[in-house]
Amino acid sequence: MRKFISVKDVTDINALVAKALAYKADPLADRNLGADKRIGLLFLNPSLRTRLSTQIAAKNLGMEAVVFNVDKEGWALEFEEGAIMSGNTVEHVKDAAPILGQYFDILCIRTFPSLKNREDDYSEMYINQFIKYAGVPVVSLESATLHPLQSLTDIITITESLKKEPAGGTRKPKVVLTWAPHVKPLPQCVANSFAQWVNAWGEADFVITHPQDYDLAEEFTKGATITHDQDEALKDADFVYVKNWSTYNDYGKIYENDPGWMLTEEKLKTTRNAKVMHCLPVRRNVELSDEVLDSTHSLVTRQAGNRVWAAQAVLSEILTTTGK
C-alpha cells in the first residue's frame, strides 16, 4: 500500500481487518517495523481520536510521531495552482509539501470540506496536492469527502462483534446507516466513507435511511438499499450506524432537522437487539439518546478503541510495501 485515501487503496479488506485484530491481540508484535522512521500528523482541524490513536499506532510500530496543528501553528497554506498570493495565505503547498516529505517517511493529513462549493470539496484538492508534492506515502486522517481510517475501524468493529454473536446461519448481518439530527451542518465524509467501505466489503445487507433531501453521492451509496422510512429500515437490523450529514444536492445545508430522527431505545425494539455505532464526537440527546449511548447496545467506546488497530494495520502495510 503506497497511500491510504479510500477503500480503493485496499486490495483485501478482510485481510486488513485480520491484521488489525492481530495487532489488537498483540500490539507490539511488530515493535521494530518502523524503527528509525518518522511520521508526520498534520491537522487542519481539531481531533481527539484520530490524533491520539494514530500516534499510539505509530509508537507500537517503533515510529516517532510528530503532530503539527497546521491551522493553529503553521503558516496559512495556499492550495490553488497558479494562485496570486496577495491575500491571507503565506505558503504554497507545492513549497511546503516537499519539505515535509524530507522530514517524514509517512505523511498523514486531516482536512475538512468548506461545505460551500461541492465541486471543490469533491475534487479533494487539499489531500491531492499533498499526494502530488510530498513524495512520500500519504494517509488520510479524514478528507473533504471520506474518512477511511474511521471506516476501516467500523468494519473491524462489526467483524469483531459478529465473531461473538453471528447474525445467524448464512444470513448476512443487516447494517443500517441512519441520518440523525444535528445543530450545525456537518460534512458527508463519514457517511460517504462508511457506505463506500460496506459496499466494497460486500458482507452485509446494507440499508441507508435519511429524510428526503439528504441523499448522499451515488458513487458511494450504489449497492445499498435507500429508504426515507427509518422505522422500516431498522426492522431486523443487527447494526445501526448513526450519523448526521448536511445536504449533498443543495450543498452543505440543513433542511429538515426533525428530532424524531434521533435514535432511541424505543426505536431499537424492532431490531435484532442491534448494536449501535457512531464515529464520535456525538451530540447526546440530539443524535442519540443517553439511554442508547449508556446501554449495552452501544459499541461506540469499543469502536473508538479500535481506531488504534486500524491505524496500526494501515501504517504496517505502508511500511512493509514501501520499505520506508
Tell me how far apart the alpha carbons of residues 6 and 8 are, in angstroms, rounded to a whole number. 5
CB of 32 to ligand CP, least distance (A): 28
Our finding on whether 221 is near ligand CP (CB under 6 A) is no
Beta strand pairing status for 91-92 and 77-78?
parallel
Nearer to ligand CP, 31 or 284 (CB): 284
Nearer to ligand CP, 5 or 280 (CB): 280
CB of 29 to ligand CP, least distance (A): 25
Our finding on whether 277 is near ligand CP (CB under 6 A) is no
Upstream peptide bond of 113 is cis (omega within 30 degrees of 0): no
Indicate the SS3 state at residue 173.
coil
For residue 41, what is the enclosing H or E element?
A: strand 38-43
Nearer to ligand CP, 142 or 317 (CB): 142
Binding mask 32-61 for ligand CP (x = CB under 6 A): ---------------xxxx-----------
Tell me how far apart the alpha carbons of residues 8 and 29 are, in angstroms, rounded to a whole number. 27
Our finding on whether 275 is near ligand CP (CB under 6 A) is no
Closest of 138, 136, 116, 135 to residue 126, by C-alpha? 138
Indicate the SS3 state at residue 294.
coil
CB of 278 to ligand CP, least distance (A): 9
The residue assigned the cell 431498522 is 234
**Which residue is at the shortest CB distance from ligand CP?**
50
Q: How many residues bind ligand CP (CB under 6 A)?
A: 8
Our finding on whether 279 is near ligand CP (CB under 6 A) is yes
Our finding on whether 162 is near ligand CP (CB under 6 A) is no
Nearer to ligand CP, 151 or 271 (CB): 151
Give the cell for residue 242: 448513526
Nearer to ligand CP, 48 or 99 (CB): 48
Our finding on whether 69 is near ligand CP (CB under 6 A) is no
CB of 90 to ligand CP, least distance (A): 26
Among 55, 111, 129, 150, binds ligand CP (CB under 6 A): 150
Give the cell for residue 253: 445545508
CB of 88 to ligand CP, least distance (A): 25
Per the DSSP assignment, residues forming a β-bridge with 109 are 42, 140
Rg of the chain taking only CA atoms, in angstroms: 20
Q: Largest alpha-carbon pair distance within the chain? A: 64
Give the cell for residue 199: 459496499
User: Which spans of this chain sit near ligand CP (rule: CB under 6 A)?
Assistant: 47-50, 142, 150, 279-280
